[in-house]
Amino acid sequence: MTRKGEVSRYFATGLVITLATPALALSSSTYYVGLDRATHTCLVRTAPLKPGMKLMGIYKSQVAALKAMRDMKECEASAGTLPRG
């Protein structure tokens, strides 16, 4: 293989890694279902729960967290999500 071919191959490999890394980060998120004791509503969060919230479960996808939240008796009146913070 020529020097130019090697450089092109390394460049292509670097490009694939650069583009794939954010996608991998998004797919490895953790979703927390929490019950806010003050408002008696449940939320799905990507950050750990704030003080005053009861942890109802930890899930690997937002879809799984929302489905579980719908099935929780304590969360019957809730339908909201809060992405961060």
- What is the pLDDT at residue 85? 46
Nearby residues of 60 by Cβ (< 8 Å), 6 or more positions away:
29, 30, 31
| 0.85 exceeded by pTM | no
User: Tens of pLDDT along 23-47?
Assistant: 545 556 999 999 988 888 899 999 8
Answer whether 82's CB lies under 8 Å from 43's CB.
yes
Terminal alpha carbon distance of the chain: 51
User: Tens of pLDDT along 47-63?
Assistant: 889 898 999 999 999 99
Neighbours of 73 (CB within 10 A): 5
Strand order in the sheet with 41-45: 41-45, 31-36, 53-59
- What is the pLDDT at residue 84? 45
- What is the pLDDT at residue 5? 64
- What is the pLDDT at residue 15? 47
